Structures are given as C-alpha cells and as structure tokens.
Structure 1
Amino acid sequence: MLVVRPAGPADIDALLDLAFLSGKGFTSLPEDRAVLTERLALSEQSFARDLPASEAWYTLMLEDTATGSIEGVASIKGGVGLHRPHYSFRVMTLAQYSSATGTRFDHQALVLVNECTGASEVGSLFLRPRKRQAGAGSLLARARYALIGANAGLFAPTIMAELRGWFDERDESPFWNGIAGKFFRLPFEDADRMITATDGQFILDLAPRHPIYLELCAPSAREAIGKVHRHGERALAMLEDEGFTRSGLIDIFDGGPTVTATRDHIRTIRNARSLPVQAGKVEAQANERLSLVANPGLAGFRAVLTPVRIGEGALILPEETLAVLGARPGDILTVS
C-alpha cells in the first residue's frame, strides 16, 4: 500500500535521488545534499511545531509499505515572502493613446511584483516515473490538502502553487533565454541553484525594475509565458480540479504559471468529513472511486487512498489499513 507520511532526516538518500530524477527547472528540489539535509531538518522541526507557523516547511514522502521504497515527494510552506520578498512577474496591459494622431496602442508588459507575501505554498510534487499511474500522484497531491485542512490554523487563507515553466526539445527555457537571462547574465542552472542555496539577494540586485514590453521580445519567449512544462500538465490539471485558478503571475526565471485558491474552498478540504474509525471488512467495488483517508494529526499525519464503508456514523476500514495509518478503533480520521 502507498502511504503519505512526514519526511525526516533518514530520508536524505531517497530525497536526493528524487532531486536528480526531477531534472532542470525543478527549483524546489536542488541536486544538493547539504540543502536537502537542511530541508529535512526543517521539516522535522515543522512537524514537531518547533517553528512559528509562517516559517514552517513540511516535506511529505510517498512510501510503498510493501517494499519500504520512497516513490515521491511533496511539500507545503507555511508562508512565503515574509523575510525575503517572493518575486513574480505579472502580465499587464499598458495602454497608450495620442490625440494628435488618433492612435491607441495596448502593450503587453511584464512587471516585477511581490504579491504573494504571506500565502502558504504547495509544491515540490514529484513522483518516480514508474508511479505516475494508478492514483499515486492524486494521493500525494491531495494529502497536502488533507494536512492543511486538518491543521487550518497553521496555514494562510490563500494557498498558492508555482508550476515549472516550458522547456523546449533541447531542454532549454525559451523564457530564460529570451527575457529573464538577459538581466541576470548567468546560466539558468546557476541561477536556479542560487534560489535555494543563497539568500536570494541576487534577485533583488539584478531583477528588472521597469516594465518589459513583450513586443520587443523573441516570439519563442512570449509563447512560453504561462506555459507549463510537459511533465507538469497533469499537476496543473489536478490543481484546477481542486479549485485553483491562474493568478496572472508567472515565475521570473522560466515563465511558469502561478495558481491560487482560497484555503477553505479547496475541494479536498471542503468535502472532508471527520469520523470515528472502526475495523471491519471493506470490499472494493468495480470502478469504485477510492477515498482519501487521513490520520489528521501533525507529527502522526498519514494519508492513503482506499475503499471505505461508512455506517452508523463511523468510518469502516480494514485492520491493515488502520495499521498503515497508525490509527486504532475510535480514533477520529478524515475522509474525502
């Protein structure tokens, strides 16, 4: 059975392996053992409530209980942009009109903004290729919302997600090559690494302070604006299914879209029910939609996709599923 659980320092080798598999542009999973070790320590502190809620960064692992192998990772940041500004580009229309010539022009432009300050962020969703079927991605993605919904006071009213931008068949970012890279004068890989390995001062120092008129940019760069990476299309579809919508913001490096949702309106959170659990037989029906069941604590958080039976105000689960969730009869679990 696949289960989502909190990550800890012992997961470093698996997390580093996932980082190498994730490829170029997956900023939140740098191929850097020291950075990822620090990330796991931060996650352990976050789940132990040893940090202010806004500074917490929760990392979740997707584990196959039959083999003990780690098949995926996801994360939630309690708050973004509170110490270091969280920069994005907003696509804006700038209108110009001349009464002398009777001419009006509407120009599309990129403007540097930091509008996401204080929002909580879901991200770092990555699965091993062999697990990108049979609901594993849905389990990992929705487990984040189950954790947020069960501990709503630890998270902001607005939840955001940034998706990796478009890379061409040569694994190059047209947006970086045509727009962003002209300001930073660094290889994409170096700038990408510096986001997580430094305090980000170089962004503040070098990012453009004036609107960038898109008519002056290469067509390939313009076409990449707001376009999601081919490997992120399924992630975008799942976010939209939960109620996330495009915000008009894009990533300043690769042009990928930012989507947002109101925390309590996210579908998994909105539809969740809290019920006492009982052990019993549950028979899966053909074509039955599996339910997300979570043990809603923080340090003891667990989530699985499973057939369920609800009767007499209680959630019925097989004993083996209870064991995977770390729950006992009478415990309150959430189901959605």
Structure 2
Amino acid sequence: MLVVRPAGPSDLGSLMELAVLSGRGFTSLPEDETTLLDRLTLSEASFTGAIAPREAWYTLMLEDMETGRIEGLCGVRAAVGVSRPHFSFRVMTLAQFSSAIGTRFDHQALVLVNECAGWTEVGSLYLRPERRSGGAGSLLARSRYMLIGVDRPRFSETVMAELRGYFSPDGTCPFWEGVASKFFRLPFDEADHMVMSTDGQFILDLAPRHPIYVELIPDAAHQAIGKVHVEGEAARAMLENEGFRGSGLVDIFDGGPTYSVPRDSITTIQRTVALPCAAGDPGDAPELLVSTASVDGFRAVRAKVRFEDGRAMIGAAAIEALRVAPGEMVRVRQ
C-alpha cells in the first residue's frame, strides 16, 4: 500500500535521489544536500508546530509500505513572500493612443510584481516515472489539499501553484535565453539553484524594474510565456480539476504559469467529510482518499471505504497505514 506521510531529516537520501531524477528547472528540488536537509528540518518543525504557522513548509513523502522506497514527494508552503518578496511577471496589456493620428496600440508587456505575498503554495509535486499511473499521482497531489483542509486557518485564503516552464528538446529554456538571462547574466542552472540556496537578494538587485514589451523579445521566448513543461501537463490537469485557474502571472526565470484558487473552493476540500473510523471489511465499496484528522502525524492513503452508521469502515491495512485506532476521526474525500 502507498502512504503519504510527513518528511523529516532521515529522508535526505531519498529526497536527493528524487532531486537528481527531477531534472532541470525543478526549482524547489535542487541537487544540493545542505538545502534539502534544511527543508526537511523545516518540514519536521512545521508538522510538530515548532514554528509559527506562516513560516511552515510541509513536505510530504509517498512511501511504498511493502518496499519502504520513497516513490515521490509534494509540498505545501503556508505563506510565500513572508521573509522575502515573491516576484512574478504579470502579463499585462498597455494601451497607447495618439490623438494626433487617431491611432491606438495595445501592447502586451511583462511587468515585475509581488502579488502573491502571503498566499499558500502547493508544489514540489514529483513522482518517479514508473509510478505515474494507477492513481499514485492523484493520491500525492490531493494529499496536499487534505492537509490544508485539516486546519484551514493555518493557510491563506488563496492557494497558488507554480508550474515548471517550457524547455526545448535540446534542454534549453527559451524564456530564460530570450528574457531573464539578459538581466541576471548567469547560467540557468546556477540562477535556479540560487533561488533555493540563498536569500534571493540577487533577484531583488537585478530583476527588471520596467515593463518588457513582448513584441521586442525573441519569438521563441514569446511563445514560451505561460507554456508548461512537457512533464507538467498532468499536474496542470489535476490543478484544473481542483478548481485552479491561470492567474496571469508567470515565473521570472522560465515563464511557467502560476495557477490560483480560493482555498475554500478547492474541490477536494469541499468534498471531504470527517467521520470516526471503524475497522472491518469494506467489501466492494469504492476506493477513496482517506487521511488522518490532524496536521501532527498527518498521513493519507487510498482505500476502500464503506459508510455505515455515521462511520467510515476501512480495512486493516488502511488502519495500519494511517496509524489510527478504531473510533478515531478520519477525513474522507467523497
């Protein structure tokens, strides 16, 4: 059985392995042990409540209980832009009109903004390629919303997700090459690494302060604005199924789109109910997403659930995976 559980420092080896597999442009999963260990330590403190709620960053691991192997991960950051700005480009239309010649021009432009400050971010969704079927991706992605739903006040009223931007088959990033590199003048991989491993001051120092007219940038970079990495299409579809929509914001490095949704409008949160659990044979009941009802020790699985007398009856394997006792509250996505 697959179980989603909190990550901690002991997961460093597995997280490093997934970071290598994830490839270029996966900013939240850098191939740097020090950075990843800091994140895992922060995750442990977040789940135990050892830090302020707005500073929390929860990392969840997808573990195969039979083999003990970590098959994927995802994360929930309680609030972005708290300790430093969270910059994006907003794609805007700038209108210009000349009364002298009676002509109006509408220009698309990229404008540097810091609109997401305080928003909750769901991200870092990555699965081993061989696990991208059979419901594992859905379990992992939706576990983030189950976590948010357990204690909504810990999280912002707006939830966002940044999707990895488009890379050409030759491994280059058209948006970086045509736009961002002109300001940062670093190799993409170095700049990408610095986002997570430094305080981000270089972004504050070097990011463009004036609108960038889209008509003036190379066509390849233009076409990449808001375009999703080939490996991110499934993630986008899952976001849209949960109610996320494009916000008009794109990443300042790779041009990938930012999606957002009101927290309480997320489909999984709306369709989840809390019930006491009961151990038993659910028979041919449908397989649903089930989680614990607390942030501390949060766990989630897919299991058959039969609703009976106001209880959620689940099998022994699910009871063991969730580490709950009969009668304890669980949350079930209907």
- The answer to whether 1:308 aligns with 2:305 is yes
Aligned position for 2:131: 131
Instruction: Quote the offset at 1:154 in angstroms.
Output: 0.8
Please state whether the residue corresponding to 2:118 is helix, strand or coil.
coil
Aligned position for 1:234: 234
Mapping of residues 3-82 of structure 1, within 5 Å:
3-82=3-82
Deviation per residue, 1:211-242 (Å, 9 max, x gap): 00010011110000000100000000000100
Normalised TM-score (structure 2) = 0.99
Are the equivalent residues in 1 in contact too, given 2:158–2:262 (CA < 8 A)? yes
Aligned position for 2:267: 267
Cα separation, 2, equivalents of 1:125 and 1:284: 31
Cα separation, 1, equivalents of 2:170 and 2:121: 30
Instruction: Quote the offset at 1:102 in angstroms.
Output: 1.3
Mapping of residues 155-170 of structure 1, within 5 Å:
155-170=155-170
Question: Kindly, what percent of the aligned residue pairs are identical?
Answer: 59
Cα separation, 2, equivalents of 1:54 and 1:106: 40
Cα separation, 2, equivalents of 1:175 and 1:229: 12
Aligned position for 1:329: 326
Cα separation, 1, equivalents of 2:119 and 2:145: 14
Are the equivalent residues in 1 in contact too, given 2:304–2:315 (CA < 8 A)? no
Tell me, which stretches of 5 or more residues in structure 2 are unaligned?
none
- The answer to whether 1:102 aligns with 2:111 is no
Aligned position for 2:278: 278
Cα separation, 1, equivalents of 2:53 and 2:280: 37
Normalised TM-score (structure 1) = 0.98
Are the equivalent residues in 1 in contact too, given 2:274–2:293 (CA < 8 A)? no
Deviation per residue, 1:26-83 (Å, 9 max, x gap): 0000000010011100001111101111100100000000100000010011111012
Q: How many residues align?
A: 333
Cα separation, 1, equivalents of 2:238 and 2:293: 22
Instruction: Quote the offset at 1:299 in angstroms.
Output: 2.2
Please state whether the residue corresponding to 1:204 is helix, strand or coil.
helix
Instruction: Quote the offset at 1:151 in angstroms.
Output: 1.3
Aligned position for 1:208: 208
Aligned position for 1:184: 184
Please state whether the residue corresponding to 1:66 is helix, strand or coil.
coil
Deviation per residue, 1:84-136 (Å, 9 max, x gap): 00000000000111111111110000000000000010010000011000010
RMSD of aligned C-alpha atoms? 0.8
Q: Give, as a single letter, the amino acid of the residue that structure 2 aligns with 1:312.
A: D
Cα separation, 1, equivalents of 2:166 and 2:317: 42
Q: Give, as a single letter, the amino acid of the residue that structure 2 aligns with 1:305.
A: R
Cα separation, 2, equivalents of 1:53 and 1:318: 34
Aligned position for 1:219: 219
Cα separation, 2, equivalents of 1:298 and 1:74: 15
Please state whether the residue corresponding to 1:310 is helix, strand or coil.
strand
Q: Give, as a single letter, the amino acid of the residue that structure 1 aligns with 2:55.
A: E
Aligned position for 1:317: 314
Aligned position for 1:84: 84
Cα separation, 1, equivalents of 2:284 and 2:104: 63
Instruction: Quote the offset at 1:283 in angstroms.
Output: 2.4
Cα separation, 1, equivalents of 2:284 and 2:29: 36
Cα separation, 2, equivalents of 1:276 and 1:299: 18
Q: Give, as a single letter, the amino acid of the residue that structure 1 aligns with 2:118.
A: G
Tell me, which stretches of 5 or more residues in structure 1 are unaligned?
none
Partner of residue 289 from structure 2, selected from 289, 292, 311 = 292
Instruction: Quote the offset at 1:284 in angstroms.
Output: 3.6
Cα separation, 2, equivalents of 1:54 and 1:329: 33
Cα separation, 1, equivalents of 2:246 and 2:147: 23
Please state whether the residue corresponding to 2:191 is helix, strand or coil.
helix
Please state whether the residue corresponding to 1:39 is helix, strand or coil.
helix
Aligned position for 2:122: 122
Cα separation, 1, equivalents of 2:234 and 2:117: 27
Q: Give, as a single letter, the amino acid of the residue that structure 2 aligns with 1:101.
A: I
